[in-house]
Amino acid sequence: LQMNKLEEAANAAHTFFMANPEHMEIQQDIENYKTTAGKVDLIDREARQHMEDYSAGVRHYDKEEYELAIDFLERALRGYYSEDEDCQLMCEGPQRFEEHEYLDYKAGLYEAIADHYMQVLACKHDCVRELATRSGRISPIENFLPLHYDYLQFAYYRVGDYVKALECAKSYLLFHPDDEDVLENAGYYEGLLEGTMDPDTVKPRKEAKTLLRRHKLESHLLQVAAAGLGYTYTEPNYWNRYGARQDEHSVPSSIGSEPEEGPRLSLAKKPMPKPDRELKEGGPLLYSDVKFVYNSQQLNGTQRVLLDNVISEEQCRELHRVASGIMLAGDGYRGKTSPHTPNERFEGATVLKALKYGYEGRVPLKSARLFYDISEKARRIVESYFMLNSTLYFSYTHLVCRTALAGQQERRNDLSHPIHADNCLLDPEANECWKEPPAYTFRDYRPKLRCGQCVQPVLLLPILVLTVSPQASIKPKCGRMVSFSSGGENPHGVKAVTKGQRCAVALWFTLDPLYRELERIQADEVIAMLDQEHLGPSEMNINPKDEL
């Protein structure tokens, strides 16, 4: 940026954003670069080519462009196996003995040699995870390699290549031999080939068979070595399938002109679970003191709910007190004290910061713990009310306060936070909300919990009605929570704070574990440590009433 290379700066920012999507202010930086430099084709400098090809193949598949999908997915497989060879080679060489202190390590020669090669073997065994993990992320795409064959078996069927379809189906079954849908598919493909060739001559792909055989042998050796050398080894499940959570999304291929007995997509068709946003709401609130106020219909929209008494008056006051001790001006916006309007001061704090301050004695520990407990209670309520069949993960947790600045409130016509959607880019001219970076496309649900001296309402608008005249205006109240899905169906904003202070616990959730909030994972570790040290939870009981 200082050298005025705006396109390079934009690419660097985009690369950082792809690895750190929870970083709030980087989105604004990218938009600034795009505005200044004109049209910019953003490039992720750390992207792995086999993953880029896989993502492109899935996009074409979803558009039913099956020939293009096949080209990219086959290229992704070639790239994957090439990267696997490189990964295996990179594991050769010195290893770090994480189970031992170097100075206290007193193994004999043969034990040291065995220990070294077990470290090498463990590294090679973990290449499956390494190749399925995006740069900068901590979690792999589960079932990554088998998904290639799952997509391909169906795509080849769609283009009429039944031999390749059967070959890919059998390759997939190497990893999941009990997958009923793909077993049926393989039988169906065999029926189509009868009379023209012997289906038994079609075998699974050699490279898949070789990799899986090697992987099983590595697992066996590691378990034997662990028993012999006296350390603990737990074999991860490298081929987890998201399909177990998506039974209702299993899509029969009989759509359109295909016969009903045609092949079905495996339950693992999609690499990431997606919620059914149509009529999935109205589930139990779990806590007897939580009061239902309005549903989506009463709020003139979809996937919305308003609840009261999520926390008590005393908990509101306690949370507001702890906020004054941990808040930092411009937190989350690179120190910009007025990121959305020059007429207000913005302050914020994360849940990890609160716990650290509590542990260090800067604020009461139970008060800091209350912030954590409240956010977990909100997550459980949202997950239950919207009847999700997948786990909700925290994407970002933020305690925020907006304070009206004296002498700047006359004739205000701006908003405290402009109207926006959380996981897509609003385009009123095209009447669309584009789900693409730099938007936080992985966010799925957004609750807001009022906790302080709130004097101005949040706006909830129906899809793409970008007007200051809201269809649903919610007046803040201590303990009140509004929750809604994060897409273009729920544009929202915040009216101007013209007097006093507005505080809220702002939470964003995702169904994609790849985008879990890193600070939340650290906060969970702090909580576990506190529990071990018997430093105790807050006085808030977050267990649902049916678990008491």
For the cut 90, the answer to whether the pLDDT of residue 408 exceeds it is: no
Q: At what angle do helices 162-175 and 180-193 cross, to 10 degrees?
A: 150
Would you say 453 and 503 are in contact if contact means Cβ atoms under 8 Å apart?
yes
What would the pLDDT profile of 304-323 be if each residue is shown by its tens digit?
Answer: 899 999 999 999 889 888 88
φ/ψ of 492, rounded to 5, equals: -155, 160
Q: Tell me what pLDDT residue 74 has.
A: 97
For the cut 70, the answer to whether the pLDDT of residue 478 exceeds it is: yes
Task: Identify the band that residue 456 occupies on the pLDDT scale cut at 50, 70 and 90.
Answer: very low
Spatial separation of the C-alpha atoms in residues 177 and 155, rounded to whole Å: 20
* Residues 6 or more apart in contact with residue 206 via CB below 8 angstroms: none
Catalytic pick from 443, 502, 516, 520?
A: 502
Q: Tell me what pLDDT residue 236 has.
A: 76
Mean pLDDT over 232-249 rounds to 55
Burial class (CB in 10 A: 0-12, 13-18, 19+), 338: middle
Q: Tell which wins on pLDDT, 279 or 151.
A: 151
Q: Tell which wins on pLDDT, 404 or 258.
A: 404
Task: Identify the band that residue 537 occupies on the pLDDT scale cut at 50, 70 and 90.
Answer: low
For the cut 60, the answer to whether the pLDDT of residue 253 exceeds it is: no
Strand partners, 346: 402
Other CB atoms within 10 Å distance of the CB of residue 47: 16
Location of each CATH 2.60.120.620 domain in the chain: 291-533
Tell me whether residue 502 is one of the annotated catalytic residues: yes
Spatial separation of the C-alpha atoms in residues 162 and 165, rounded to whole Å: 5
Distances (CA, A) of 70 to 166, 281, 315: 14, 38, 56
For the cut 60, the answer to whether the pLDDT of residue 542 exceeds it is: no
Question: Model-level pTM?
Answer: 0.51
For the cut 80, the answer to whether the pLDDT of residue 29 exceeds it is: no
Burial class (CB in 10 A: 0-12, 13-18, 19+), 207: middle
Residue type, 154: F
DSSP state of 264: B
The HSE-up count of residue 441 (CA atoms within 13 Å, CB side) is 10
What would the pLDDT profile of 45-100 be if each residue is shown by its tens digit?
Answer: 777 889 889 989 998 998 899 999 999 999 999 999 999 999 999 988 776 655 54
Spatial separation of the C-alpha atoms in residues 396 and 417, rounded to whole Å: 17
Instruction: Pull the structure tokens for residue 27.
Output: 């989105």
Q: Tell me what pLDDT residue 244 has.
A: 31
CATH for 291-533? 2.60.120.620
Spatial separation of the C-alpha atoms in residues 77 and 81, rounded to whole Å: 6
Would you say 155 and 66 are in contact if contact means Cβ atoms under 8 Å apart?
yes
* Residues 6 or more apart in contact with residue 365 via CB below 8 angstroms: 358, 359, 530, 535, 536
The HSE-up count of residue 532 (CA atoms within 13 Å, CB side) is 6
